[in-house]
Amino acid sequence: VIAKLNEDNTILTITGEGQMKDFGNESDAPWNSIKDNIKKVIIEYGVSNIGSCAFYGCSSLINIATA
């Protein structure tokens, strides 16, 4: 499972097959340094599980969608 941010770091797209890894805490997520910018998460077909603490502290997150 791969996570990719768009150019302005407001949309995080989760792609791949299977489970996303669990993050021990919010600082373990690769997007932790820009987590306050993320407004939308898109989870694409094939992703079967979102890891724990994946979006913890994403204070601007207003939309999670599947594709």
Query: What's the predicted TM-score (pTM) here?
Result: 0.91
Contacts for 53 with CB less than 8 Å, ≥ 6 apart: 22, 23, 24, 25, 26, 28, 29
- Summarize pLDDT for 13-55 with one digit per residue, the tens: 999 999 999 998 878 999 999 999 999 999 999 999 999 999 9
